[in-house]
Chains A and B, each alone.
Chain A
Amino acid sequence: MSRPILSVEHMTMRFGGLLAIDDLSFVAERGRITAIIGPNGAGKTTVFNCITGFYKPTTGRITLTHENGETFLLERLDDFRITHHAKVARTFQNIRLFGGMTVLENLMVAQHNMLMRASGFSLAAVFWPRGYRRKENEAVDLARYWLDKTGLLDRADEPAASLPYGAQRRLEIARAMCTRPVLLCLDEPAAGLNPRESAELNELLMSIRDDDGISILLIEHDMGVVMKISDHIVVLDYGRKIAEGTPQEVRNDPAVIAAYLGVADEEVEQVEQEVGGAS
């Protein structure tokens, strides 16, 4: 039995007096798509930022385990080291591409660490470019693979900022995949996509899980995406986990329904009793 790829234990995050995440624990299984959902302001992106090192949690432990058993304590690593060593890649809620660089260049930047080593930290390759060329071609091949998969191959030489919105979202996923991650963290990948694009996104994510064997951690508002592709769902509200389980379980959970839809005043007490005061 393989150990879960990511386990978050008793994580708490405070911003001054604001308790953004309150004693959150969950695990993400290897080779699965785990989704974190919750109403606006529930703390989903904060969880993401803690996992990817952009914030340091106030307390708690985040363990990432590679297939060979090597473990990383993510709360102790710098953000860029998490990507480099622990192999966790992420995308952003508001797309962050290198707009003035071409699509292909974006994907080459993602392979920076591998290419830096191959080029002798770039200084050696100024005068002896031969060995580096081969590695660069490999990097281009990987980029081509992901461009093909995200349907951007014919736009490879265009500036990233000139792509339409949906293509930019896909490019950001392709870029994250070019860092060769074991865990891909997607922050609302379907935001702003039309129904057709979000169906394509579903295909892409399932293919990343099944064909490339990459585990995915997902924040999403679009329930069409979440319910269709997630294997496991964690529901947050006001920084606390109020439910978790398969899509089916979560969908019927009264606490989740209360958090999302709200309840009539007379029902509040009744629901709170059922839920045990979770909301």
Chain B
Amino acid sequence: MSDTTATATTTATAAQGRRTPRRSLVAQALQESFFAGLLAAVLASFILGVKTVDAPGGLQLQYRWHWVLYAFAIVSVGRFLLILFWWRRDAKLPAVLGAASAGAGRAIAPLGKWVGLALVAFAFIFPFMPFTGRYELDIAILVLTYVLLGWGLNVVVGYAGLLDLGYVAFYAVGAYSYALLAKTFGLGFWTVLPLAGILAAIWGMILGFPVLRLRGDYLAIVTLAFGEIIRVVLLNWQSVTGGPDGITGIPRPTFFGLEFKRFGENTFHEFFGLEYSPMHRLYFLYFIILVLAMITFFVTNRLRRLPVGRAWEAMREDEIACRSLGINPTNTKLTAFAIGAFFGGLGGSFFATRQGFISPESFTFIESAIILAIVVLGGLGSQIGVAIAAIVMIGGFEVFRGLEEYRMLLFGLLMVVIMVWKPRGLVSTRMPTIFLGKEKKAISSDYVGEGSG
């Protein structure tokens, strides 16, 4: 995208240059950036220049014309620099940066496994680091939840190429399964966890059936609707789900029957003779989600190398060719939905036990969108990319809490920048699942399909 624009601009500039040879590039750049700045100033005058404030007797307008000036300055200077150093035909900067980025990519690619191992090792010692407090641990738990969800959705969107906008439905099914089963039948977390996963997987298949014939945009719309249906049912089925009040007092997970309470019969700190600390439960939750995420990684990564995983990817590349090879498209798509939903259900269960309280509020479309954004930004089909994107997106979101409403702006910008710079996500190459020779080479994203249904 940016390349095309850049080339177009350079050609335009060059063409103008030929017609008026006396004008230097700098003069031309000045003119262009002045008009760009002017445009920005016009736009900014309404958005930034005028603000409504509360005043006695109603709202009043407050003028902030200096903001318009800033907008003008930023855009015109930015454009001036871009013209001089980036869009020029003989500009060296893009080539240098491109080479550096490609070189770094080549250098990192063989280290992928080691980077992954280092990340896992770090994840295991993270809670015991000196800088890790309650707040950091909380964020880490949240990030890991999204890593798990991202890996789960990656099966559907990344491998099978089925655009699913209603993934949060399975997260909700998992959460409510745990909450209801635990509260109604008194089942423990570890019993319900696989049950919740299986229930979510069944819902995944129920969703899968009607959408089998749909592709692309149509599939996305129906999955979006499915996500909303689940949420609306949870909201209105007052007698079972508690409606908008949600479910409170969801049991906490136990460590082999030992509870994380200050007082009680079988408490963790008494059994091990430790001083009571609320941090124990947090450590415990952290390791639960870490292990769950590792299991998700292991299973999805393994499945990718097995026949069903290859069939998912083949289905993404060309469904008709798959049929001609005797692959049952119904089963293949349904397994993708079911496996993806299963991990969504695990994530949901964990969410319910961590919060101790759930309500339909937690399962809105924005959750689906965030998980999908993690998968797309990380690189469709790339597990390490998804993990990095989850850390950056969720972790960053929390770290920049101080910026208040501007952090949304920052994240919008970040997403745009990533998509312009790496349209196929952070890690866009695809690693083959089997090799004949010794050399293990990744496949460039130029060849890999995105799937259309």
Cβ contact within 8 Å between A179 and B325: yes
Cβ contact within 8 Å between B306 and A126: yes
Main secondary structure of the interface of A (DSSP, over half): helix
Q: Which of B128-136, B223-231, B430-438 contacts A (4 or more CB under 8 A)?
A: B430-438
Contacts of A161 in B (CB 8 A): 447
A204 to chain B minimum Cβ distance, whole angstroms, is: 19
Contacts of A113 in B (CB 8 A): 326-327
B317 to chain A minimum Cβ distance, whole angstroms, is: 4
Cβ contact within 8 Å between B447 and A116: no
Contacts of A179 in B (CB 8 A): 325-326
Q: A112-B310, A112-B311, A126-B303 are in contact. Are A80 and B326 (CB under 8 A)?
A: yes
Q: B322 within 8 Å of A by Cβ?
A: yes
Q: B299 within 8 Å of A by Cβ?
A: yes
Chain B, 404-444, contact with A by CB distance < 8 Å: what is the 0/1 string? 00000000000000000000000000101111110101011
Cβ contact within 8 Å between A112 and B437: no
Cβ contact within 8 Å between A126 and B299: yes
Cβ contact within 8 Å between A105 and B310: yes
A111 to chain B minimum Cβ distance, whole angstroms, is: 8
Contacts of B308 in A (CB 8 A): 116, 119, 121-122
Chain A, 2-37, contact with B by CB distance < 8 Å: what is the 0/1 string? 000000000000000000000000000000000000
A187 to chain B minimum Cβ distance, whole angstroms, is: 10
- Taking residues whose C-beta sits less than 8 angstroms from the other chain, chain A's interface range is 35 or more
Q: A162 within 8 Å of B by Cβ?
A: yes
How far is A265 from B320 in the complex, measured between Cα atoms in Å?
44
Q: Name which of B306, B314, B433, B437 has the most chain A CB atoms within 10 A of its CB.
A: B306
Q: Name which of B302, B329, B432 has the most chain A CB atoms within 10 A of its CB.
A: B432
Contacts of A132 in B (CB 8 A): 306
| Count of CB-CB pairs between chains A and B under 8 Å | 138
Q: A83 within 8 Å of B by Cβ?
A: yes
Q: B449 within 8 Å of A by Cβ?
A: yes
Contacts of A153 in B (CB 8 A): 436
A176 to chain B minimum Cβ distance, whole angstroms, is: 8
B231 to chain A minimum Cβ distance, whole angstroms, is: 30
Q: B58 within 8 Å of A by Cβ?
A: no
Contacts of B443 in A (CB 8 A): 100-102, 159
- What are 26 A-to-B residue pairs whose CB atoms are below 8 Å? A54-B324, A80-B324, A84-B326, A90-B324, A96-B318, A96-B320, A97-B317, A98-B317, A98-B318, A99-B317, A100-B317, A100-B430, A100-B447, A100-B449, A101-B432, A105-B433, A112-B307, A112-B311, A112-B327, A116-B308, A122-B306, A122-B309, A126-B303, A144-B436, A159-B443, A179-B326
Binding site for B on A (CB under 8 A): 52, 54, 79-84, 89-92, 96-102, 104-105, 108-110, 112-113, 115-116, 119, 121-122, 125-126, 129, 132, 136, 140, 144, 147, 153, 156-157, 159-162, 175-176, 179
